[in-house]
A and B are shown apart, each in its own frame.
Chain A
Amino acid sequence: MRSLGRTRRKAGEALTAWALLTPSLIGVVLFMLVPIAIVVWLSFYRWNLISPPRFVGLANWVGIMTNGRFANSLLVTGAFVLIVIPTQTALGLFFANLLHRRLPGSGFFRTLYVLPWVCAPIAVGVMWTWVLAPSHGALNTLIGHRIEWLSDQALALPSVALVSVWSQVGYVTLFFLSGLGAIPETITEAAQLDGAGRLRIFWTITVPLLRPTLFFVLLTTAITAAQTFDTVYVLTGGGPLYATDVVGARIYYEAFQNHEFGSAAAMALVVFILLAAMALLQKLYFDKRTTYDLST
């Protein structure tokens, strides 16, 4: 009798659980898993939405590998990530160390630093097209020279990277600040008593103890940077001459401007694989190195 009641309760509980899960399950299946299946299917088809889809075998894959444009976009994305990530990580660490001293007003500065990050990337991009405009732009007026920040072949990518760094530094700073807060002061004080200098303490104590934070920050910011789209879309549209044609923009233009949905799908899958590989590599690297448990 008792076990029957329990069985019935369990069955009721399972039923309730599935009812509660239904909406999110629809979302996960229909808008995440089905799209992955479609992307794989689509990468073997040619489809422009006007004529019916046509099976083309590996043509899209061969096409994106041999046509230099996709390779270019991967290189541009790689260069972009290599400029953005070290710069904003170094700046984030720097400002987090300043804020960590908790001088009066630190909270106010922290707020100001995070402000760019909450602004819509599109609005940030629009704002910076003016700041970087050749004539009547804020930066050129300030330095008194006319520099084509966004239309010079060599300057465009670093300029776009600068805008990206500007909007992300506060976010990175915030995480390092919270990581620094978790390091017990007794450790740094002990090192100081042993006569270690400020820089020595930073490299031999702070950085190793920050490793979990560093891992998280590097992983999320690298994945975000590799998918950059909004800022590039308004700042340069991928130009001049594909100098800022990051892969997020390439997929967009391939699909929604050239209406080559099949090859856009193949590109998207390559990006998926590369991002997963990047996450795995970073994890292996950080796992190999010791992390310290400060919970005691």
Chain B
Amino acid sequence: MTSLRERVATPARAAGVYALLVAGALAAIGPLLLTVSTAIKTPSDFASHSALAPPQPPSTVNFAELLGGSHNLTHSIWVTAAVTAFVVLTQVTFSILAAFAFARLTFPGREPLFWVYLSTLMIPQAVTVVPLYLMMVQFGLRDTFWGLVLPLCFGSPYAIFLLRERFRAIPQEVVDAARLDGVSTLDMLVEIVIPLSRPIIVTLTLITVVSQWNSFMWPRIVTSGTQWQVLTVATAALQGQYNSHWTLVTAAAVIAMAPIVTLFVLTQKHIVRSILITGFR
């Protein structure tokens, strides 16, 4: 009896599978590698050789121009980092608080309220951006830090949903034993529920970092000018302005991608798990 896996393990078959896997990998990261290669060329090197030729020699001139000088992407990096840090911290914290209430506390109206939360998952972003923008204008928060973070920082129904599942899985005996020892509700959250749910919290934190760092539409709408310009908005603006200065434009794309790619490579297992658990986009 041969299993599928044994059957595939003949050398010729394995070689065929590897050939296809390599082809897929080239398609996936080829464009990324070529982009990096262009980003480390001087403009004259790029203009005088084939677009696919390796840099001769590699140069950091584009990065220097973007990070220092008049473009000052460094400022955008700080804005993005501040916005991301704030949103991740508040969103995860408030989601934990709400999920704990839904999972482990009884109060009148719990189930209907949870359904209201769940139903908001159906609302597409395209529907809410226009009214949110008008609200921010009315609040006088257009082009401010608060305008960037306010709609996102009060917690995410999806995170609440996932955390609630996990919090409910904690055995009632653990909670009851703590109650008998006189542990208060809040201490129970901090000392028992959160430590026992660490993996899912890490997962949610990572995925929120990625989506917040990469977000574009809301920052593009609610800010103007450079004071609160996040990295994605700065990159798009640069591309519009320096169309066909490809070494500069690709370097900006590399700067925008590099932190998340690094984070992904470092926490690869966690992020893959995050994607599978949250199905997140």
- Footprint of B on A, CB under 8 Å? 10, 13-14, 16-18, 20-21, 23-28, 30-36, 38-39, 42, 49, 95, 98-99, 101-103, 105-106, 109-131, 133, 136-138, 141-142, 166, 169-171, 174-175, 178, 185, 188-189, 192-193, 216, 220, 223-224, 227, 229-230, 233-234, 247-248, 251-252, 255-256, 261, 264-265, 268-269, 271-272, 275-276, 279
- Does B124 contact A103, Cβ atoms closer than 8 Å? no
- Does B264 contact A252, Cβ atoms closer than 8 Å? no
- Does A170 contact B28, Cβ atoms closer than 8 Å? yes
- Does B264 contact A131, Cβ atoms closer than 8 Å? no
- Does A230 contact B135, Cβ atoms closer than 8 Å? no
- Footprint of A on B, CB under 8 Å? 1-5, 8, 14, 17-18, 20-21, 24-25, 27-29, 31-32, 34-35, 38, 46-47, 50-52, 90, 94-95, 97-98, 100-102, 105-108, 110, 113, 116-117, 120, 122-135, 137, 150-151, 153-155, 157, 160, 185-186, 210, 213-214, 216-217, 220-221, 231-233, 235-236, 239, 244, 246, 249-250, 252-254, 256-257, 260-261, 264-265, 268, 271-272, 275-276, 279, 281
CA distance A267 to B270 in the complex (A): 38
Residues of B within 8 A of A35 (CB): 127-128, 131-132, 135
Q: Given A24-B94, A121-B216, does the pair A115, B4 have CB atoms closer than 8 Å? A: no
Looking at A31, A98, A123, the one whose CB has the most chain B CB atoms below 10 A away is: A123
Q: Which residue of A lies closest to B185 (CB)?
A: A16
How many residue-residue contacts, CB under 8 A, span A and B?
Answer: 292
Contact of B131 among A18, A20, A26, A42 (CB under 8 A): A42
Q: Given A109-B21, A230-B217, A261-B130, does the pair A133, B244 have CB atoms closer than 8 Å? A: yes
For the complex formed, measure the closest distance between the CB of B171 and the CB atoms of chain A, giving whole angstroms: 19
Q: Given A13-B185, A31-B150, does the pair A133, B106 have CB atoms closer than 8 Å? A: no
For the complex formed, measure the closest distance between the CB of B19 and the CB atoms of chain A, giving whole angstroms: 10
15 A-B pairs (CB sep. < 8 Å):
A25-B98, A31-B150, A32-B157, A49-B137, A116-B32, A118-B210, A121-B214, A123-B232, A131-B31, A136-B244, A169-B28, A174-B272, A174-B275, A271-B126, A275-B124
Known: A21-B101, A248-B126. 10 other contacts (CB 8 A): A31-B128, A118-B214, A122-B232, A123-B232, A124-B253, A125-B236, A127-B253, A142-B52, A229-B217, A230-B232
